[in-house]
Chain A
Amino acid sequence: MGKTLAEKILSLKSNTEAKAGDVVIADVDLAFVQDTTGPLTVRQFKESGFEALARPQQTIIFLDHAAPSPAQQLSNDHILLRRFAEETGCRIYEVGEGICHQLVAEQFANPGDVILGSDSHTVTAGALGAFATGMGSSDVAVALALGKTWFRVPESFLIELNGVFPRGVYAKDLILYLIGQIGADGANYKALEFGGGALAQMTMSQRLTVANMAVEAGAKVGLFPGDEIIQDFLIEHGRGDNYKPLYTDAEAHYEKVILVNLGQLEPMLSLPHAVDNVCPVTQVKGVRIQQAFIGTCTNGRLEDLAVAAEILKGKKRNPSTRLLIAPASRQVLIRAIEKGYIQSLIEAGAVILPPGCAACPGFHQGVLGDGEVCLSTANRNFRGRMGNPEAMIYLASPATAAASAIRGEITDPREFM
């Protein structure tokens, strides 16, 4: 019997013939924390009696969630994390460098790596073929010291993508559609593995958006097989030698196969307060929004800002709608300035936030008021997510967010194309 990509990576990293359902101990190539989970990780690490990291250069602290810090307690958490970096020699990415998942994709993740992050959207690096998954502070603390962790090898769903995106439809619409189909717990403990003819035209930026939200269907990982697009991305980011062609075996067993024809998709969104509460944009057109937020580890990349800038260029945001833009990394911001996107967005009335998580986790840079509605390009719309349980969050693509910011209400982006 052949192996799925998940079985293949965990076999290599555990030195076993790993099959779905097995429990294995696998080497961890990269482990990281961010500033809201890192302090507990540091305390657990010390409480365990650990002093040294297994791989200091493959251990990273990202200061991205409270960036810059809005509260003295969070500033003190940053001090704790900086001190830990000094003591242990691990890497640290300061406020303003960007979101952990974007920086991991740009600078670290490789096909076949096992990556652990104390953040649920660690799955993002599955776009590069890394077995990347989120865990809590205790698991990451132990992995920092031992350089390994235990996994139950997941069963896999094959998501076979064919066709091409129609005008106005993007990777975000695809993954929202899929989550609507699978349900928020439909892939719990499973691996999503993407395949099909559509991958040949799917950019890394699009794949990162798709892999990022695998966890919103409950999945442990969202994996893309090796190909030229991954190889070119690694070459472009100075680590072409790290490319490994890893694919699923032809006769691998999938628990489920889901077929999607991209050509039949339309702009989608998630309604409050559940990510799998999905419907086409056309069904909720006209809902007034007080804030549009474009950014996050889901949709804060250069391609996303390009789409938004193209729609907003020469236009103005609606006077009753705030437009917040947060590039996913410093690199994204620099490129977006060079290409003129930032100019177009600012002229349209946008507020440019520093590279980081910004308004998404709900404690700064765009906390919603009572009864307010936000159209966000993020990955979660749970009640209370953006800092106020009395607010409503809709999730959609950057194109839908940009079009909706102009009208001040949920708008089909195809009306601006």
Chain B
Amino acid sequence: MSDLVLKGKAIKLWDNISTDDIIPGRFAHLRSNLPELAKHVLEDAVPGFASKVKSGGFLVGGKNFGLGSSREHAPVVIKMSGVGAILAKSAARIFFRNAINQGLPVLLCDTDKIGDGDELEINLTGGMIANLTSGITLNCSKMPPIMSAILNEGGLIPYIQKHKDFKL
């Protein structure tokens, strides 16, 4: 089987991107209308983000990406915006699980080695990131096998539809 590889541009953010940055509570009334909700993704942190990201790319944060609420709508709207993966030094526990459950890869690596606009090639199978702009290769920390299995199925719901139960 060939490795799963994603290519795109880095959109550099910073430490402690909260779920209130990603999709604030004031849009709670749109949570059952995901296309409308997704128009507001990250709009307080990066004005115009939803239109800027349309071409695809990778969100590159610092430490503690996604801290805060358990709202799974946060990775949902990031994925809907076209983002292919999140790269961060660390990710908050609930957000990390939610993103994987939505089939949105979260790779933990030294994001100081990635600049805004850098061209990246991510090998999801091997957990490696090639920064084509700087020529640096980054290793990502491994996630538990059950998370990899969930991600490989495209998220928790497809995983459960297929396996009917958790498999360790």
A152 touches B144 (CB 8 A): yes
Which of B26, B71, B146 has a CB less than 8 Å from the CB of A363?
Answer: B26
Q: Is B2 part of the binding interface, using a Cβ–Cβ cutoff of 8 Å? A: no
Q: Is B111 part of the binding interface, using a Cβ–Cβ cutoff of 8 Å? A: no
User: Which of chain B's residues have a CB closer than 8 A to the CB of A389?
Assistant: 24, 44
Q: Is A13 part of the binding interface, using a Cβ–Cβ cutoff of 8 Å? A: no
Query: Would you give the shortest CB distance from B33 to chain A, in whole angstroms?
Result: 7
Q: Is A207 part of the binding interface, using a Cβ–Cβ cutoff of 8 Å? A: no
Q: Known: A37-B71, A120-B70, A185-B90. Is A139-B26 also a contact (CB below 8 A)?
A: no
Q: Known: A363-B29, A384-B25. Is A48-B71 also a contact (CB below 8 A)?
A: no
User: Which of chain A's residues have a CB closer than 8 A to the CB of B94?
Assistant: 120, 134-136
Q: Is B18 part of the binding interface, using a Cβ–Cβ cutoff of 8 Å? A: yes
- Chain B, residues 83-96, CB within 8 Å of chain A (1/0): the string is 00000001011100
Q: Is A388 part of the binding interface, using a Cβ–Cβ cutoff of 8 Å? A: yes
Which of A138, A146, A362 has a CB less than 8 Å from the CB of B26?
Answer: A362
Residue of B nearest to A16 (CB): B168
Residue of B nearest to A41 (CB): B72
Q: Which of B136-168 touch A at CB < 8 Å?
A: 144-146, 155-157, 160-161, 165-166, 168
Complex CA–CA separation, A388 to B67 (angstroms) = 18
Q: Known: A383-B21, A384-B21, A389-B24. Is A48-B157 also a contact (CB below 8 A)?
A: yes
Which of A40, A44, A48, A384 has a CB less than 8 Å from the CB of B20?
Answer: A384
Q: Known: A139-B156, A148-B166. Is A40-B72 also a contact (CB below 8 A)?
A: yes
B72 touches A189 (CB 8 A): no
Q: Is B64 part of the binding interface, using a Cβ–Cβ cutoff of 8 Å? A: yes
Per the CB 8 Å criterion, the residue count for chain B at the interface is 43
- The residue in A70, A274, A385, A387 that gathers the most chain B C-beta atoms within 10 A of its C-beta is A385
User: Which of chain A's residues have a CB closer than 8 A to the CB of B6?
Assistant: none
A23 touches B146 (CB 8 A): yes
Q: Is A77 part of the binding interface, using a Cβ–Cβ cutoff of 8 Å? A: yes
User: Which of chain A's residues have a CB closer than 8 A to the CB of B157?
Assistant: 44, 47-48, 138, 141
- Chain A, residues 281-321, CB within 8 Å of chain B (1/0): the string is 00000000000000000000000000000000000000000
A138 touches B72 (CB 8 A): yes
- Chain A, residues 351-392, CB within 8 Å of chain B (1/0): the string is 000000000011100010000000000001011110111000
Per the CB 8 Å criterion, the residue count for chain A at the interface is 58
Q: Is A416 part of the binding interface, using a Cβ–Cβ cutoff of 8 Å? A: no
Residue of A nearest to B24 (CB): A384
A385 touches B165 (CB 8 A): no
A142 touches B29 (CB 8 A): no
Q: Known: A73-B29, A139-B101, A367-B26. Is A382-B156 also a contact (CB below 8 A)?
A: no
User: Which of chain A's residues have a CB closer than 8 A to the CB of B156?
Assistant: 138-139, 142
User: Which of chain A's residues have a CB closer than 8 A to the CB of B29?
Assistant: 70-74, 363
Query: Would you give the shortest CB distance from B94 to chain A, in whole angstroms?
Result: 6
Q: Which of A35-56 touch B at CB < 8 Å?
A: 36-37, 39-40, 44, 47-49
Enumerate 6 A-B pairs (CB-CB under 8 Å) in ascending A order: A137-B72, A138-B157, A139-B98, A185-B63, A362-B25, A387-B24
Residues of A within 8 A of B (CB): 23-25, 36-37, 39-40, 44, 47-49, 65-66, 70-74, 76-77, 80, 117-120, 122, 134-139, 141-142, 146, 148-150, 152, 184-185, 188-189, 218, 220, 274, 361-363, 367, 380, 382-385, 387-389
Known A-B contacts: A138-B155, A184-B64. Give 11 more (CB < 8 A). A37-B71, A47-B157, A134-B70, A134-B94, A138-B101, A138-B157, A218-B67, A362-B20, A363-B28, A367-B26, A383-B20
